[in-house]
A and B are shown apart, each in its own frame.
Chain A
Amino acid sequence: MIQPVDALRLAMRNPVVAVSGAFILLYCLSALLAPYIVSHAPDVMDARARLAPPSLEHPLGTDQFGRDVFSRVVHGGRVSLQVAFVAVFTAVIVGGAIGMVMGYVGGLFDALASRVLDVLIAFPSLLLALFLVAVLGPDLKNLILAISLTRVPYFARLTRAEVSSLVERPFIEASRAAGASGSRLMLRHILPNLLPLLVVFATTDVATAIIAESSLSYLGLGAQPPTPSWGRMLTEARAFFGQAVWLALCPGLGLQPLRRRAARRHRPPAAWPMRRARNGCRGCTSDRSGMFDLTPLPSSSRPAEPTAASCPSSTKPRWTSGSNVKIRGVRGARECR
């Protein structure tokens, strides 16, 4: 078992991890402290300073209404983060609960629910979200609902697969023999064993949710004006590109490191014990939507290479047994030499 502090030190030795970690920290801090960082409110218009180029007063220039782009970028990040966190959190709770009952109860309920999840997963995520927002009407609340609904099936499947393998373990049998009820088994014995997996997937899924949010906002289906949002800012700026390049560059620059986060997704942190290797899944799912990243990561972004001894047996991609859920261990350690 690696201690968290050691794991952090180990991870920081890799420059890519260190740089992206710094990015993420900066991003979260700027979102948290938004009102203290910026000198202008994001929706205050200044008719005299319309489409002003970057200056000391407006570090990233102003938009067509004379609003400070820097302030809007910082506050836009706040909106994105909020949407992403709430959406993913909801998805984890709902999906986790469904998956846990599916894996624990099994039988007809499991079979029926699996079919429903099959259907939900068969939609490309963005399309499903678009469709839901179309029906619910475009606003921030519905956007969160739509994004979180597209993530639910993934968490449900993941949890189900993990629970159905946990249920077979001796410690569950032992506590059942000791007279523990079903709810006690699920909440006290199974849930704690699920948490590391769910936390890792949830954090990586936040990046996907942010991209989904900005894509939908770009289409005009997310946050409605004047709420700043990176996707929305790019759409609104389209008419003014010729006059004001900074309008196109700046919101996008904010998004740039995020995909990088998305690219690092599904890698368990070094602190996470290697127990996932047991069923061949080291944190990668096969995904029909294409929004999940299926690919193993380039070696340079991995914090710690496994030792030669652990490599050959633990890195074979395998299908998890006993389920029709295809969680595929695309192995994380291709480069072990």
Chain B
Amino acid sequence: MNSVLLYVARRALLHFVPVLVGMSMLVFGVIRLVPGDAADLMNVRMTLEQRAETRRLFGLEEPIPVQYAIWLGEVVQGNLGVSLRSGRAVVDEIAAVLPGTLELGLLGALLGIGIGLPVGILSAVHQDRPADRGMRFLVYIFISLPEFWLGTLMVLLFSIHLRWLPAGGYVGLFDDPLEALRFVVMPAVVLGLIMAAFLSRVVRSTMLETLRQDYVTVARAKGLSGPAVLLDHALRNAAGPIITLVGLQFAFLISGSVIVEEVFVRPGLGRLLVRSIFQRDYAVVQGVTLLFTVIFVAANLLTDVLRGIVDPRVRARA
């Protein structure tokens, strides 16, 4: 266990902390490239004194590196600034929509893994037989579909023609769980199906590779049952690449949720981001981008940790 901890610490310090610092610099720096500043954005009818006051209030008089240091200090303490449009704290704006996105992302990931894993395994076991061919055909279709079109088609079918599910909107999970499920099911299925398609291809190919190994033959020769061989011997060894891919899929879940929320008019981080972009509310854009990247980097760190736990060789190499 000690070696796992050591490995995690080394990965985190040498890779993830520098990356996070770099990202914060980038997010901070790029926003400064925008011509004009907060004072210009807020109100055009300001007197010069009011402008100076606003600039002082937002700390815009300081040199850029000082501004960065102050900003970073605030961010670390959980203060992402104030929305220029609503005047509310960015953290509050984010907190208001976060549950919806988490619900969508988690359900999507659950569906993706829940469908992708078994499909990939079955596909590998039945390699080149009709079941495999059929599944591969379906996988191909879902890989080809952009999220927004799949979502659109589902709205057409299930909302407009069959009238089974609402075309868009959102109900909080704690307000009315059943109704919330009706709202989240289509967006989550869109994310889940596409993620499952990508995942199942990797599962299939890594499984095919491990199933051909000698130790699998030995396990079969020992007289172990089919499922035992498949899950204990083959899947365990195929887990590394699969875990890595699931980690990478977080990027898809993030960008996918931005688009899917737009398709289903579902309040969430993605829609908040897109809306803020149009409103030029840079504090919110900055905050949401930062949160998304931190989530993604954290997911990657978690992936590395899991790989280290599952596979001692990875620990040794890092």
Bound-complex Cα distance A295 to B147 (A): 19
Provided the pairs A220-B278, A252-B152 are in contact, do residues A127 and B255 lie with their beta carbons within 8 angstroms?
A: yes
Bound-complex Cα distance A138 to B280 (A): 11
Asked whether, in the complex, the Cβ of A119 is within 8 Å of the Cβ of B26, the reply is: yes
Q: How many residues belonging to A are interface residues under a CB distance threshold of 8 Å?
A: 57
- Residues A262-315 near B (CB distance < 8 A): 262-263, 286-291, 293-296, 298, 300
List A contacts of B274 (CB < 8 A). 130, 219-221
Bound-complex Cα distance A242 to B167 (A): 11
List A contacts of B140 (CB < 8 A). 260, 263, 298
Provided the pairs A218-B262, A334-B208, A334-B209 are in contact, do residues A256 and B251 lie with their beta carbons within 8 angstroms?
A: no
Asked whether, in the complex, the Cβ of B148 is within 8 Å of the Cβ of A215, the reply is: yes
- Residues A99-158 near B (CB distance < 8 A): 115-116, 118-120, 122-127, 130-135, 138
List B contacts of A290 (CB < 8 A). 248-252, 255
Provided the pairs A135-B30, A295-B205 are in contact, do residues A124 and B296 lie with their beta carbons within 8 angstroms?
A: yes
Bound-complex Cα distance A252 to B149 (A): 6
A113 CB → nearest B CB, Å: 12
| B95 at interface, CB cutoff 8 A | no
Bound-complex Cα distance A294 to B303 (A): 16
List A contacts of B147 (CB < 8 A). 215
Taking a contact as CB atoms closer than 8 A, the residue among A132, A138, A214, A220 that contacts B146 in the complex is A214
Taking a contact as CB atoms closer than 8 A, the residue among A138, A252, A300 that contacts B136 in the complex is A300
List B contacts of A215 (CB < 8 A). 146-148, 255, 259
- Residues B1-58 near A (CB distance < 8 A): 15, 18-19, 22-23, 26-27, 30-31, 33-34
Asked whether, in the complex, the Cβ of B255 is within 8 Å of the Cβ of A294, the reply is: no
Q: What does DSSP make chain B's interface, helix, strand, loop or mixed? A: helix
Of chain A, the residue at the smallest CB distance from B142 is: A259
Q: How many residues belonging to B are interface residues under a CB distance threshold of 8 Å?
A: 58
Of chain A, the residue at the smallest CB distance from B300 is: A288
Asked whether, in the complex, the Cβ of B248 is within 8 Å of the Cβ of A294, the reply is: yes
Asked whether, in the complex, the Cβ of B30 is within 8 Å of the Cβ of A211, the reply is: no
0 or 1 for each of A211-239: is its CB under 8 Å from B? (1 = yes): 10011001111000000000100100010
| B218 at interface, CB cutoff 8 A | no
Bound-complex Cα distance A141 to B261 (A): 26
List A contacts of B255 (CB < 8 A). 124-127, 215, 290-291
Provided the pairs A234-B149, A252-B149, A334-B209 are in contact, do residues A131 and B254 lie with their beta carbons within 8 angstroms?
A: no
Of chain B, the residue at the smallest CB distance from A210 is: B146
List A contacts of B33 (CB < 8 A). 135
Asked whether, in the complex, the Cβ of A116 is within 8 Å of the Cβ of B251, the reply is: no
**Stretch binding the partner chain, chosen from B59-67, B153-161, B183-191, B231-239:** B153-161
A324 CB → nearest B CB, Å: 9
| B145 at interface, CB cutoff 8 A | yes
| B243 at interface, CB cutoff 8 A | no
Of chain A, the residue at the smallest CB distance from B296 is: A124
Most B Cβ at <10 Å: residue of A115, A127, A249: A127
Of chain A, the residue at the smallest CB distance from B31 is: A135
Bound-complex Cα distance A134 to B144 (A): 28
List B contacts of A335 (CB < 8 A). 208
| A257 at interface, CB cutoff 8 A | yes
Provided the pairs A119-B26, A122-B19 are in contact, do residues A219 and B248 lie with their beta carbons within 8 angstroms?
A: no
Provided the pairs A124-B296, A256-B144, A295-B202 are in contact, do residues A131 and B155 lie with their beta carbons within 8 angstroms?
A: no
Bound-complex Cα distance A63 to B82 (A): 41
Bound-complex Cα distance A14 to B48 (A): 71
Asked whether, in the complex, the Cβ of A295 is within 8 Å of the Cβ of B198, the reply is: yes
| B309 at interface, CB cutoff 8 A | no
| A241 at interface, CB cutoff 8 A | yes
List A contacts of B15 (CB < 8 A). 118
0 or 1 for each of B272-306: is its CB under 8 Å from A? (1 = yes): 01101110001001000100110011001000000
Asked whether, in the complex, the Cβ of B148 is within 8 Å of the Cβ of A231, the reply is: yes
A246 CB → nearest B CB, Å: 11
Asked whether, in the complex, the Cβ of B278 is within 8 Å of the Cβ of A124, the reply is: no
Bound-complex Cα distance A166 to B128 (A): 39
Asked whether, in the complex, the Cβ of A234 is within 8 Å of the Cβ of B248, the reply is: no
A133 CB → nearest B CB, Å: 7
List A contacts of B273 (CB < 8 A). 130
Most A Cβ at <10 Å: residue of B34, B139, B255, B296: B255
List B contacts of A86 (CB < 8 A). none
List B contacts of A130 (CB < 8 A). 258, 273-274, 277, 289
Asked whether, in the complex, the Cβ of A116 is within 8 Å of the Cβ of B22, the reply is: yes
Most B Cβ at <10 Å: residue of A135, A241, A287: A135
List A contacts of B252 (CB < 8 A). 124, 290-291
Taking a contact as CB atoms closer than 8 A, the residue among B155, B241, B278, B300 that contacts A241 in the complex is B155
Asked whether, in the complex, the Cβ of A259 is within 8 Å of the Cβ of B143, the reply is: yes
Of chain A, the residue at the smallest CB distance from B289 is: A131
Taking a contact as CB atoms closer than 8 A, the residue among A123, A219, A257 that contacts B23 in the complex is A123
Asked whether, in the complex, the Cβ of A211 is within 8 Å of the Cβ of B146, the reply is: yes
Provided the pairs A126-B258, A135-B31 are in contact, do residues A241 and B26 lie with their beta carbons within 8 angstroms?
A: no
Provided the pairs A291-B251, A298-B140 are in contact, do residues A118 and B160 lie with their beta carbons within 8 angstroms?
A: no
7 nearest interchain CB pairs? A119-B22, A126-B255, A290-B251, A259-B144, A124-B251, A252-B149, A134-B277
Interface CB pairs A-B, < 8 A, 30: A118-B22, A122-B293, A123-B23, A124-B254, A126-B255, A126-B258, A127-B254, A127-B289, A130-B258, A131-B285, A131-B289, A132-B30, A135-B282, A218-B262, A219-B274, A231-B148, A234-B149, A241-B156, A245-B156, A248-B156, A249-B153, A256-B145, A258-B144, A262-B143, A290-B250, A295-B202, A296-B201, A298-B140, A300-B136, A334-B209
> In the complex, given contacts A126-B255, A255-B149, A260-B140, what are 6 additional A-B residue pairs having Cβ atoms less than 8 angstroms apart?
A122-B297, A127-B292, A130-B289, A134-B277, A256-B145, A263-B143
